[in-house]
Amino acid sequence: MSQQIVSSQPLVEVKDLSVTFSKKRLFKPTRVVRAVNGVSFEIAQGETLGLVGESGSGKSTIGRALLKLVPMESGSVRFDNTELTTISRAEMRRMRRRMQMVFQDPYSSLDPSATVAASISEPFRVHEGLSAKQAWSRVQELLEVVGLRPSHANRYPYEFSGGQRQRVAIARALALTPHLIVCDEAVSALDVSTQNQVINLLEDLRDEFDLSYLFIAHDLAIVRHIAHRVAVMYLGHIVESGPAERTYQRPAHPYTQALLSAIPIPNPERSNRAGRILLRGDLPDPANPPSGCPFQTRCPYAMDVCREVMPAMTAVDGGGQVACHLQTAGPELNGRSLMDADVEVVR
Amino acid sequence: MSADTAMMREPSVQRPTAPGIKRFLRRFASNKLAITATVLLGVLITTSLAAPLLAPYPPEAIDVVNRLAGPSPEHWLGTDSLGRDTLSRLMHGGRVSLAAAAFAVSIAITFGVPLGLIAGYLGSWVDWIMGRGADVLMTFPAVILAIAIIAATGPGLVNAMAALGVVYAPRLFRVVRGATLAVREETYVEASVSIGTPAYSIVTRRVLPNILSPLLVQISLMLAAALLAEAALSLLGLGVVPPTPSWGNLLGRGFTEIRTTPLLVWFPGIAIALATLCFNLIGDGLRDSLGRETRKGD
């Protein structure tokens, strides 16, 4: 196989991934929640894919499924040309050094009874058989890389602020110089000034180590800042994906449009009240999803076809894909953004 | 509001969930009862361990002239019906009683802790089977089972205490399993899984240190119960075989002279009560200074 083909392969290739959780209940049918439903995406080496959506849309589950922290129902996950769904546990353990995760809450992702050095050296101990002493100098280096003082190594997590803890967690994820880091709401628990610092750190590290991120967040402004491409999730489906700028400037899915209109505008006097789209109702029960398009219960443009048929992915002008009947039926946008077309609200 | 936040920021080192050993020691030291109990228990253990050096007489030395004597300069706590020095026998008896309690509890730890960790961490059917096994063992009244085992194997403290340990094991199992279930859901365990850390290593390095507080509390309370159980068995003559003294059989022999020399019952009784009380107070102190869930106020 030629070098060309190998390098053109994406680092992560997810196809038709589904994850279900089932809860057995006494005297009642088992409750099955399809948290992720037939999701496909790719991440190239050095690329950041932002995954956005509201709580319960399944975005964290995708990140966990990628690292096999939750069992997959079906589909395929290829990491650097290795199919993760079928490899043995021992092989998976070896793969783990190349894919790491940074969790949302830095207060619970570090063992409170272990020193920072013990937490950061865990990957070294597991994958390289180094003792805490042997890993010491590398722990010191890592602390410097993430902007902490090496003298912090012997402290306990409770002696640090949230931002500092998240730096420790990032240092731990970086320890084995992975190719992919899944950032699961990695900055959501931090206050705004700390968020910026951590985001900048993540960007610097991406450039320095040629990292790929799957950046899961509900804060759209942050995702726009860090991500090259964006995928929007709703109720276990990716409803729209594409280059970050295109998706933000010219959303093609009504849900993306609604999400974007909810971003607060710094100067309220300039805000365009009329442009604000309010979604009514709650996210449907994922154990009992609506028929047809998952968004039809809250979509302002819902048509009859939306209630019956799940829309297929169609290409969008400017890159990416969208799953919406507006593209193929009714106004027939044919890949245009909702911003370009004057789509009337049906209701 | 601003005063509140300023106050909260100031002692950032004293976050309530902080596991710091210093913080624990400070809290424990401020608990006067627990400190007193620790000191007292330390004295009891030291005098028992050093009995051959400290005791004024050998435990079997007979002073026939001074039988059933009250406290005197020669015999501080008096003598028994054979003229043996009560103080010396108490000190030697403490060795047997405390060692027996420690033995039973260590048996319980050997079985209860690893199985509890396994059941709590693995969950599913492993947990179910182990849980039912623990249920079965829990239905045995501890002392009765110990008596039954002694009936089968003959008097002897080792068998009895081993039996006691086995019966106590499910209680530790329960505590460890419950705490493990809670810790397993913590993100730092998931983080270890994502790093690729083997399950064994996660359990010993991540779970065990974080369930230590409820475990220590349970162990100290269990020591108290085991001490009482030893006393009960020896009192009935099922424990250690005379003339070797233990607090239990000292108490038992004291009963025969209770009308003439009630002091013979008092001293071992006080020793047992004191040691039990100490273990319980230390357990309470540990719980208050380690426990997160029993914190008051915040």
Tell me the DSSP string of B114-126: HHHHHHHHH-HHH
Q: Does B48 touch chain A (CB under 8 A)?
A: no
Q: Which residue of A has its CA nearest to B16?
A: A158
Give the mean model confidence (pLDDT) for residues A142-170. Answer: 87
Chain B residue numbers with beta carbons less than 8 Å from the beta carbon of A94 are 196
Q: Does A130 touch chain B (CB under 8 A)?
A: no
The kind and range of the H/E element at B274 are helix B263-290
Q: Does B213 touch chain A (CB under 8 A)?
A: no
Residues 6+ apart with CB under 8 A from A21: A32, A33, A35, A70
Range scoring the smallest mean pLDDT among A82-91, A176-185, B254-263: B254-263
The kind and range of the H/E element at A313 are strand A313-315
Does the beta-carbon distance from B194 to A111 stay under 8 Å? no
Q: Does B18 touch chain A (CB under 8 A)?
A: yes
Instruction: With beta carbons less than 8 A apart as the criterion, state whether B263 and B76 touch.
Output: no
Q: Which of residues 56-95 of A touch B (CB under 8 A)?
A: 67, 69, 92-94
Does the beta-carbon distance from A97 to B196 stay under 8 Å? yes
Q: Which residues pair with A233 in a beta bridge?
A: A238
- For chain B, the structural domain boundaries read 80-290
Of B12, B15, B187, the CB nearest to A105: B187
Chain B residue numbers with beta carbons less than 8 Å from the beta carbon of A66 are none
- Collapse the DSSP code of A243 into the 3-class scheme (helix H, G, I; strand E, B; otherwise coil) and give the result: strand
pTM to 2 decimals? 0.79
Nearest to B79 by CA among B231, B250, B239, B271: B250
Of A92, A109, A112, the CB nearest to B19: A112
- Measured in angstroms, the CA of A108 and the nearest CA of chain B are apart by 5
Q: Does A155 touch chain B (CB under 8 A)?
A: no
Rounded CA separation A247/B44 (Å): 75
Q: Does A126 touch chain B (CB under 8 A)?
A: yes
Does the beta-carbon distance from A108 to B188 stay under 8 Å? yes
Does the beta-carbon distance from B13 to A96 stay under 8 Å? no
Chain B residue numbers with beta carbons less than 8 Å from the beta carbon of A103 are 187, 190-191
Q: Does B26 touch chain A (CB under 8 A)?
A: no
Q: For position B143, what pLDDT does the model report?
A: 78
- Measured in angstroms, the CA of B172 and the nearest CA of chain A are apart by 21
Does the beta-carbon distance from B194 to A156 stay under 8 Å? no
Q: How many CB pairs under 8 A join A and B?
A: 75
Q: Which of residues 238-257 of A touch B (CB under 8 A)?
A: none
Identify the residue whose tokens are 């083997």.
B198
Q: Does B209 touch chain A (CB under 8 A)?
A: yes
Chain B residue numbers with beta carbons less than 8 Å from the beta carbon of A114 are 205-206, 209
Give the mean model confidence (pLDDT) for residues A124-151. Answer: 87
Q: For position A3, what pLDDT does the model report?
A: 38
Chain B contact probe: residue of A69, A131, A158 with most B CBs at under 10 A: A158
Q: For chain B, which ranges sit under pLDDT 50?
A: 1-19, 292-298
Instruction: With beta carbons less than 8 A apart as the criterion, state whether A170 and A202 touch.
Output: yes
Q: Which residue of B has its CA nearest to A67?
A: B194
Nearest to A175 by CA among A227, A211, A223, A226: A211
Q: Does A116 touch chain B (CB under 8 A)?
A: no
Nearest to B80 by CA among B292, B297, B260: B260
Chain B contact probe: residue of A69, A110, A111 with most B CBs at under 10 A: A111
- For chain A, the structural domain boundaries read 3-227, 251-267+275-347
Strands A212-216 and A180-184: parallel
Of A67, A112, A113, the CB nearest to B194: A67
Chain A contact probe: residue of B183, B186, B195 with most A CBs at under 10 A: B195
Rounded CA separation B148/B168 (Å): 16
- Measured in angstroms, the CA of A166 and the nearest CA of chain B are apart by 12
Q: For position B64, what pLDDT does the model report?
A: 78
Range scoring the smallest mean pLDDT among A280-289, A292-301, B208-217: A280-289
Token representation of residue B254: 């004291």
* CATH top-level class of A3-227: alpha beta
Q: Does B191 touch chain A (CB under 8 A)?
A: yes
Range scoring the smallest mean pLDDT among A95-104, A119-128, A203-212, B58-67: B58-67
Of A92, A96, A111, the CB nearest to B188: A111
CATH topology classification for B80-290: MetI-like fold (1.10.3720)
Nearest to A237 by CA among A14, A16, A11: A16
Q: For position B11, what pLDDT does the model report?
A: 37
Q: Does B21 touch chain A (CB under 8 A)?
A: no
Chain A residue numbers with beta carbons less than 8 Å from the beta carbon of B210 are 111-113
Strand ranges across the sheet with A74-79: A28-43, A12-25, A74-79, A82-83
Q: How confident is the model at residue A271 (pLDDT cuts 50, 70, 90)?
A: low
Q: For position A4, what pLDDT does the model report?
A: 40
Q: Does A105 touch chain B (CB under 8 A)?
A: yes
Q: For position A287, what pLDDT does the model report?
A: 82
Q: Does B16 touch chain A (CB under 8 A)?
A: no
- In a 10 Å sphere around its CB, with 0-12 CB exposed, 13-18 middle and 19+ buried, how is residue A10 labelled? middle
Q: Residue B156: phi, psi to the nearest 5?
A: 165, 130
Higher pLDDT pick, A206 / B6: A206
Chain A residue numbers with beta carbons less than 8 Å from the beta carbon of B212 are 113
Nearest to B17 by CA among B267, B220, B293, B240: B293
Rounded CA separation A19/A17 (Å): 7
